[in-house]
Amino acid sequence: MNLSHILNTGYEVIFTAFTAIITAQIIKSIVFLIIKRKLDVRLFTTTGGMPSSHSAGVMGLSTAVGLINGFDSIAFAIAIGYACIVMYDAAGVRRAAGKQAACLNRIIMDVYKQDLAEAGGKLKELLGHTPMQVFVGAAYGVIYAFMIHYSLMHYIN
């Protein structure tokens, strides 16, 4: 199998970003299994938790762009700007929305006496990430991009 058409192309960037997200979601499920001692398959498709797959994906993408085009390139500057916006959103806006959802759920439970179905159902509370979850996801994305890039280089050469 010849992978030379992937190395140093947009395909490598896309592959790195998406597989960083997928592997971060797998790691998140494993961490939950170890900590809570139960398997929750839904975690693979939900937001929130350790590590942040959003951060892993955008930092994997940014690092792959930097490795291919140079860390002083315009493409890397755009990619890292995008990554910063996504990570800020994950730790800021979405985390605040999750806290508001938790508060609203408590209010609804008090008003409707534990019957959330009457109020339209429970709001999703785990939307965002703590700063540590974002940092770990970002660090994972960077390391993962280096691993993919140098593995491809080694495999091809």
pLDDT digits (tens, 9 = 90+) for 90-111: 777 666 666 676 777 777 777 7
* pLDDT tens-place string over residues 119-132: 666 666 555 668 88
In this prediction, residue 76 carries a pLDDT of 97
For residue 35 the two structure tokens come to 């900590």
Closest C-alpha among 54, 28, 51 to residue 40:
28
Tens digit of each residue's pLDDT (9 = 90 or more) over 11-41: 999 999 999 999 999 888 888 788 878 777 7
From CA 81, how far away is CA 55, in angstroms rounded?
12
Which residue, among 25, 26, 84, 91, has the nearest Cα to 58 in the 3D structure?
84
Confidence of residue 157 (pLDDT cuts 50, 70, 90): low
Task: Write the pLDDT tens digit of every residue in 40-51.
Answer: 776 666 666 778
3-class state of residue 26 by DSSP: helix
**Which pLDDT value is given to residue 96?**
66
Place of tokens 């008090």: 110
